[in-house]
Amino acid sequence: MLASGQVFTDNCNKGMAEEVIKANTHNVMQFDRERFYFMVQEKINHNDGRPTGTFNVDMRKQHCDCEKFQAFHLPCSHVIAACSSIHQDYSIHIPDVFKILNVFKVYKESFLGLSHEENWPQYEGFTLCHDDSMRRRKKERPNSTRIRTEMDDVEKEKRRCGIFSEIGHMRRKCPNVAGPSQRPSR
């Protein structure tokens, strides 16, 4: 990867390519070149779960109203559109963590595997235990939080037989039917 001249990781390049496509549909409405403050308007909804709108971008504070710039530490489409409007390379806003050279530095040092558990030193700290009452219930129906009133008290209708519509018994235990061959037709 380094020999081919690639600077950033594949995932970073892929994400940035998607953001560049989105940025091509944005319009930079206002900007302040002294403070590097921009107002970017989206023309097309790219299905991020929010409607199209206008977003403020502050390059110095590395802030965008969509909050992707702050959350992922990678330029969002609004930042890329702002950089494009002033003919600036957006890659200067990508942190060094995403560079291939720094990823390789992580694996530069060798490290040994863990020894057997009986050779570990004795632990003399706190023992943490989980609280079973905070565990989420699985497969059970949730308890109703509705406050019931006198309006909710309804007299239950007694069950009726599915064959003769008589009250007091069910179809399976109908005393009027002797056997399967004597059932009346509907």
Per-residue pLDDT of the chain (186 residues; tens, 9 = 90+): 777 888 898 889 999 999 999 999 999 988 887 888 999 998 887 766 667 789 999 989 999 999 889 999 999 999 999 999 989 999 999 999 899 888 888 878 887 888 888 888 888 888 888 888 887 767 777 778 888 887 777 666 777 887 878 887 888 888 887 655 555 555
Residue 171 covered by a domain: no
Number of domains making up the chain: 1
Residue 122 covered by a domain: no
Residue 181 covered by a domain: no
Q: Is 54 exposed, middle or buried (0-12, 13-18, 19+ CB in 10 A)?
A: middle
Residue 146 covered by a domain: no
Residue 118 covered by a domain: no
Q: Give the structural domain span for 61.
A: 10-103
Residue 46 covered by a domain: yes
Cβ atoms of 39 and 27 closer than 8 Å: no
Q: What local confidence, expressed as pLDDT, does residue 180 receive?
A: 56
